[in-house]
Structure 1
Amino acid sequence: MSFVVDQVRRLDSQLDRLQLSTTRTGASFSTLTAAEAHDPAKAARIAHLQNLIKSLSTTASSKSSLIPAGKILEALQRADISSTCSTCNQWFAQGEDNTYVDDDGNRADASYEHELEWLLLSKATTQAYGQVLSTILEQTIPLEDDLWYWDDILSTYRFAGLYSIQTSPIRLWKWSQEIYHDVRSRGGQLANGWSQFYGLVKNAVQERSIANIQQRVVSPLALVRNEGRRKRAALRKIRLVNANALGVLLGEGLGNESFQDDGTQSPGLSTQGGSRHRWKSTVSKSIALMDAVIQSVNTAELSVDKFDDSVASLTQDDQYYELHEPTGERTATTLRPADVAERLEYLLRHALPSYSTSFNTAVKENGRPSRLIRYWLPATVLLISSTTILRIFVNRREEILTWIREFGQTIIDFWSNWVVEPAKKVIGTIRHDEDSEVSIMSKRSLEADRASLERMVVDFAVKNPEGPALNDTEIADIRAKVREGDLTTVLRSYERDIQSPVKGAIVGNLASALLIQVQKTKVDVEVAMSGIDSILKSQELLFGFIGLTPGLLVSIGAYRWLRGVFSSRKGVQQWAKQGRMLLILRNIDRILTGATPTEFGEISYKDHGLLLCEVHLLRQAASGILPRRIFHDFLVEIDELVDVRSGLERQQKVVERIRWAYSKWFT
């Protein structure tokens, strides 16, 4: 949503309040006359007008508040104002009451149908006003890209040389046309003989070469840079003229102060004579102003400094504009709704399309070259080498297909083994899935070895008692000591037998004691391994994410690279939105700093238009960054920033407030 949509919505709501306020006061604007109430044809006509009015309201569409020009023209044609309410068109206002006097001097009330026609015209004019503003705005903003293009051409010789190569076919074609017309002007024809025609061509080329000797002292790049300066100056002029047009339309059109304050006072609400028809005068004035602005913009030779004078001269003798003057002898009631509708249809059907056509022509002539011109050289190289490339593909078809299949299988295996499987393990760890537990030894290994050691020690103690046979209590005590790692019974026997190793090994229990100690060492190692296992299990999730991270990093990196490769040039060159907002805010500050205030402390229409273009971009950039609640407050700051009535000094303070209040989202 842009400030143009806000303007149209505000104006449309004021027109709705106009009708609602007259409904509350009982004025004739919303009251059917007796003839209209009892005439089925008039009742159907009134219902038809009401439906058309609703279709032109901003609430008719939830997607956009701006109605296309074609739909506005369709509504005006369906209204058929020129052939309806013919008696209303013959009435003239007289006195302070809401009555009209016809040609015979009879006083009558203004018909409801007549007022509905004016309300329909007001709605249509509001939408046309939005269309004109939107058209000029949307065509002015892209000019900055073309200006940057010429700045690049003028900034470096590399870009200037590239531009010279790109446009060389055009210069060659123009040169050939000049030679051809020169030969034709001398009466050269192939029918007169090839030698005579060739001689004329040779003479024309020689004369043209002699005429261009003075240009040879200037390098081709200098000629290209001179062309760039000329086209850049033309684009800057177009941009400034369009910005001035925006400022005039917003400063003098429907969105100005007079229309908002008392311009929409409904009939019967104001005590001053004639002000009940002020809203009709404002509508007619806005149509005349839009027409004058479009005519001035279409004037190619008009300079920026004379734009305001041109608009003033066109509106000076316009009867629609004179109606708005408080000292004028004529009033809005002398206007026929059919005439106003015809003027509005001309604006939408002819004036606005003519402006768009002339603008596009000027931009095509002075803007950056088309893509065909910029890329003809690589396209030609690709076309010439296409047969060679095709031959390579045909001769190595099987190798290429095999490489493609292997590459695809590699990608699939990588995704499955390094992304999907680690992700499944992480999910299993979170869900305590036993199959996904990290372990370096079997679950029952320690218990089995410990039980075996316990049985071995008990059997050794029972077979080799140091005294009487062991009872159950002593055996249970030995079992408890073994669980705690105490092998005293075995070690005592081992100490006795180790004194005579050979004898102990043959007739003693040295071998058994050694084997039991080996089993004890195995159990001790497994206990240590069990501790490590516990540590690993406590960090299972961490290890799972470590295993998943390489695959994710490679996948994300490949995705971003592919996105950068296959995205459009505009997407590749687009900077971060935060940086863009800061750059736009800098441009706004430059406009306000360089603006020269008028005697009332306001900026000129030209600076106002440039400010609106930058504010439009700032608002679009902020809509995707700022949170909803903060963006709503940001719009309040924006409205205050574009309000020229507050004065230049206050606008500069608003820029400073935006800079520090929203600095978090600018960097």
Structure 2
Amino acid sequence: MSFVLDQIRRIDAQLDRVQLASIPAASPNISRTNTSTLEATGLTKPSTRLLALQTSIRGLTPYASDKYALLRPAQISFFLSALSDHPEAPLAIAEDDRPRKEPFETELEWLLVSKAVAQTYGFALQSILDNTVAIADDLFYWDEVLGSRSFSALYGIQISPFQFWHWTTLVWEDVKARGGNFGVTNARQDAADTLGKRWGEFYALVRQVVRERSVEEINKQVLSPVTRLRGEIRRKKAQLKKVRLRNANALGVLLGEGLANESAHGEALASADMAQTQLQWKSSIARNVALLEAVLAKANDVDIPVEKFDAAVAELTNDDPMYGVDMSTDVEGGSSMTVQPQDVAERLTRVLKLALPQYDASLRQAVREHGKPSRLVRYWLPVTAGILSSSTILRILVNRKAEIMQWIQDFGVTVIDFWRNWIVEPTKKVIGTIRHDESSEVSIMSKRSLEGDRDSLERMVVDFAIDNPASATGTKAPLTPDEITSIRAAVREGDLTPVLKAYEQDLASPLMGTVRGNLIRALLIQIQKTKVDVEVAMGGIDALLKSQELVFGFVGLTPGILVTYFTIHYFRSSFMEKRGSKAARKQGVMVRQLRNIDRTLWGSEATEYGELPYKDQGLLLCDMHVLRGAAWRSMPAEVYREFSEDADELGDVRVGVERQKAVAERLRWAYGRYLS
């Protein structure tokens, strides 16, 4: 939201309050006799003119939407035409044979003019503000060009065709001025002379002009082309700074002397005497029309130095009868009016149709001459290179169409397979693990493998002990059921004592043990025992894997997620502006604007009243406008409302420089988290 809209809404609200306050004071004057007279004359209903005035007043009231709050000059002129006496005006109402005006008709006319002046005042403020801010961007462009000799050389290449065209035009104009115009007007002379002779004369004249111009510019050849170009850029930058300062000064004058200052600090709308208040705000409206015209006339006058802008505006307004108009009450309570609302409306129409367009035209001309070059100048080189190389690029694309299509297909298949194999499938496995899906369990051995091998080992050892009771009990007596049960329990705990004893005995005589003993059988049982031990170890590892099954699932999913995330992040950062990066840029803008505000407050010399000069006040308001725009995009709504209150206080010139410095410091520490 712009501070201009805040000012216009405040002015409009005060105008409405003044108008409403005047109704009770005037309503008792309407007697019953007057009412009966109105009924007798058939004027019980409002006239067409009164309705037209009311419609225009409502049309000039700022809308709630910021986009439509300020009207365009054509719209203001349209509603203002309700006061016109010319029949061709859009809303003009022909005067009827009424003996007198209706009650409050004159007041409605003044209210209509006041709202039109407020809208014009707001439009002028907004135009000057936007133009001053835009010029700052052009100055930043010239700073970048001057910051590097490479950029300066690139700028020289960009403008070289246009400079050559300008030089050629000057040469041609000089040739024509010296009698080298061989057009159709000299057709008879051309027919008499030979073509070669005429061409020789023309060529000699061109060479003479070029030679003379080369001699005139010989002093410039001492410096390098880049140095001369940088000097020209500095000249443009200096002229552009003057334009910006004049517009900032104009903005400060309008805010310091216009309706915004009177509505906020003046007594024109706050007097206890209602009759005096009515006359004072009418005088204020008339003065502001004259002030608007004077400021717009001098805003882009290059003959006026920046430091004498205020004096030039004051000289115009002092000689303007409308600026010095005085409306006051006489001794008997009547009013003395030296200007009528139709006069103010006519003057305002001149401002809308002449002053504002002339201001815009002169500013555009100054920016076109001294501002950054147009897009055609800046981008003709890459566009030309693209056009010249387009045929080669197209030929390469056509010749390798099959390969390119194959690359695209392979890339698509790769992306699809990556998504399916590294994103979808691992995700399904993780979900299955969470749901304890048997098909998704991680395992390195079958579930019943260990139990089968252990039972087999148990049977082998028991059968061996039954066949060789001496190795188990030390006697050759058959084993009892209790002894067999004891051996089974020992085998479950890994004890193979019967087998190992027989193995030790046969190992003393390996050959005999192999042929006649149980060496091979004992060895095979130990191999089975080794297999069981390995499976027990594998079972432990398998249990560990199952306990960390979800972790392994996420580990398998992580590479695909990381690749996908970084790919999406790359494309978003390359082709889209994220909100976070926007906020960071806005914060950078806010810091720079606060720095400019601080420089303006501490670098300016206060007036005798302790206030900023109008020029510095205009620069301060431009920086505040940009600062508020950046804050609106980066701050929450409730914080921005508080920020707007502090910003309005900072932009109020009447509070004094010292208080403005304190407010700037408050902005820095109170909203520091949104600036860093």
Specify the TM-score bucket, using the shorter chain as the normaliser.
0.7 to 0.9
TM-score by length of 1: 0.83
For 1:29 and 1:171, locate their aligned partners in 2 and report how far apart those are by CA, in whole Å: 76
In structure 2, relative to structure 1, the CA distance for the partners of 1:66 and 1:411 (3 Å cut) is: farther
By how many angstroms is 1:320 displaced?
Answer: 2.8
Aligned twin of 1:534: 547
Which is higher, the Rg of structure 1 or of structure 2? 2
Are 2:583 and 1:580 aligned?
no
Assess, with a 3 A threshold, how the Cα gap between structure 1 residues 261 and 211 changes in structure 2: closer, same or farther: closer
**Correspondence list, 1:73-92, <5 A:** 73-77=77-81, 83=92
Q: Deviations over 1:485-542 (max 9, x none)?
A: 6234xx2332233222646647966534642552343133122221132124356446
Confirm or deny: 8 A CA contact 2:597 2:623 kept in the other structure.
yes
**Distance (whole Å) between structure 2 residues aligned to residue 133 and residue 304 of structure 1:** 19
The Cα of 1:247 is off from its aligned counterpart by 0.3
User: Which position in structure 1 is the counterpart of 2:510?
Assistant: none
Whole-angstrom CA distance in 2 between matches of 1:576 and 1:30: 62
Q: Of 44, 51, 56, which aligns to 1:52?
A: 56
Corresponding position: 1:596 with 2:620: no
Is 1:385–2:377 an aligned residue pair?
no
Choose which of 65, 74, 83 in structure 2 pairs with 1:61.
65
For 1:425 and 1:278, how far apart are their aligned partners in 2? 83
Structure 2 residue identity aligned to 1:244: N
Q: Could you tell me the TM-score, scaled by structure 2's length?
A: 0.82
Out of 205, 223, 227, the residue aligned to residue 222 of structure 1 is 227
Cα displacement string for residues 562-619 of structure 1 (whole angstroms, at most 9, x for unaligned residues) = 448xx9xxx9999722222111111111111111100000010000000001111111
The one-letter code of the counterpart of 1:493 is: P
Distance in 2 of aligned mates of 1:208 and 1:176: 11
Shift of 1:408: 4.3
5 Å-filtered alignment, 1:15-164, equals 15-22=15-22, 25=24, 27-28=26-27, 34=35, 39=43, 42=46, 45-61=49-65, 63-77=67-81, 83=92, 111-164=103-156
Cα contact 2:457–2:525 (8 A) shared by 1: no
Deviation at residue 205 of structure 1 after TM alignment: 1.9
* 1:34-433 aligned within 5 A: 34=35, 39=43, 42=46, 45-61=49-65, 63-77=67-81, 83=92, 111-190=103-182, 191=190, 193-257=198-262, 261-265=266-270, 270-271=272-273, 274-323=276-325, 333-418=337-422, 428=431, 432=435
1:434 paired with 2:426, answer: no
Matched with 1:621 is 630
Matches within 5 A, 1:639-650: 639-650=648-659
Could you tell me whether the CA contact under 8 Å between 2:279 and 2:327 is conserved in 1? no
Structure 1 residue aligned with 2:641: 632
Corresponding residue for 2:14? 14
Measure how far apart 1:273 and its partner are: 5.5
Q: CA deviation at 1:295?
A: 0.8
Deviations 1:239-268 (A, max 9, x none): 000000110111111111466553235xxx
Q: Is the 8 A contact 1:36 1:43 kept in 2?
A: no
How many pairs are equivalent? 631
Structure 2: distance between partners of 1:254 and 1:592: 24
- Other-structure match for 1:655: 664
Deviation, structure 1 residue 187: 1.6
Distance 1:547 1:406, change over 3 A: closer
Question: Matched residues in 2 for 1:213 and 1:578: separation?
Answer: 50
Any conservation in 2 of the 1:481–1:487 contact (CA below 8 Å)? yes
Q: What letter is aligned with 1:616?
A: H
Consecutive unaligned residues of structure 2, counting only runs of 5 or more, are: 87-91, 183-189, 467-471, 473-477, 508-513
| Matching residue's letter, 1:439 | V
User: Given the superposition, is the C-alpha separation of residues 405 and 300 from structure 1 closer, same or farther in structure 2, using an over 3 Å criterion?
Assistant: farther
Q: Distance in 2 between matches of 1:270 and 1:68?
A: 35
For residues 31-78 of structure 1, give each alpha carbon's deviation from its aligned partner in whole angstroms, at most 9, with x where no partner exists: 998477863662555444434333332345365432333332332236
> What is the letter of the counterpart of residue 395 of structure 2?
R
Q: Which residue matches 2:675? A: 666
Change (3 A) 1:509 1:185: closer
Describe how 1:501-512 pairs up with structure 2 within 5 A: 502=514, 505=518, 511-512=524-525
Q: What do residues 448-497 of structure 1 show as CA deviations (whole Å, max 9, x unaligned)? A: 234324543664576556776548x996x999988xx6234xx2332233
1:411–1:457 distance in 2 versus 1, CA, 3 Å: closer
TM-fit CA distance, 1:237: 0.6
Residue 369 of structure 1 aligns to a residue whose secondary structure is coil
Assess if the C-alpha contact under 8 Å between 1:73 and 1:345 holds in 2: yes
Per-residue deviation, 1:158? 2.2
- Rounded to whole Å, the distance in 2 between the matches of 1:450 and 1:399 is 57
Residue 94 of structure 1 corresponds to none
Cα distance 1:417–1:63, how it changes in 2: closer, same or farther (>3 A)?
Answer: farther
Residue type of the alignment partner of 1:245: A
SS of 1:262's equivalent? coil
Deviation for aligned residue 1:87: 9.8
Code of the residue aligned with 2:498 in structure 1: it is S
Q: CA deviation at 1:554?
A: 2.9
2:423–2:557: 8 Å Cα contact kept in structure 1? no
Deviations 1:125-165 (A, max 9, x none): 22222111111111111112221222333343322222222
State the 1:289 CA deviation. Answer: 1.3
The alpha-carbon distance between structure 1 residues 506 and 58, as it changes in their structure 2 partners (threshold 3 A), is same
Q: Percent identity?
A: 39
Q: 1:544 to 1:638 in 2, by over 3 A?
A: same
Instruction: Give the aligned residue type for 1:186.
Output: R
Aligned counterpart for 2:617 among listed residues 602, 605, 608? 608
CA distance in 2, matches of 1:423, 1:331: 87
Give 1:14's aligned amino acid. Answer: Q
Structure 1 gap segments, 5+ residues each: 91-101, 103-107
**Aligned with 2:634: secondary structure?**
coil
Seen in structure 2, the aligned counterparts of structure 1 residues 617 and 425 have a Cα distance that, compared at 3 Å, is farther
Q: Tell which deviates more after alignment, 52-61 or 280-289.
A: 52-61
SS in 2 for 1:263: coil
Q: Which amino acid aligns with 2:534?
A: T
Select between 378-387 and 220-229 the one with higher mean Cα deviation.
Answer: 378-387
The separation in 1 between residues aligned to 2:631 and 2:345, in whole angstroms, is: 39
Inter-partner Cα distance in structure 2 for 1:401 and 1:410: 14
Distance, in Å, in 1 between the alignment partners of 2:330 and 2:247 is 31
Alpha carbons 1:147, 1:236 under 8 Å: kept: yes
Question: Matched residues in 2 for 1:599 and 1:85: separation?
Answer: 53
Instruction: Provide the C-alpha distance between the structure 1 equivalents of 2:394 and 2:143, rounded to a whole number of angstroms.
Output: 40
Structure 1's 251 and 158: CA in aligned 2 closer, same or farther, altered over 3 A?
Answer: same
Q: Tell me how far apart the structure 2 counterparts of residues 537 and 363 of structure 1 sit (CA, whole Å).
A: 67
8 Å CA contact 1:596–1:603 kept in 2: the answer is: yes
- Partner letter of residue 665 of structure 1? Y
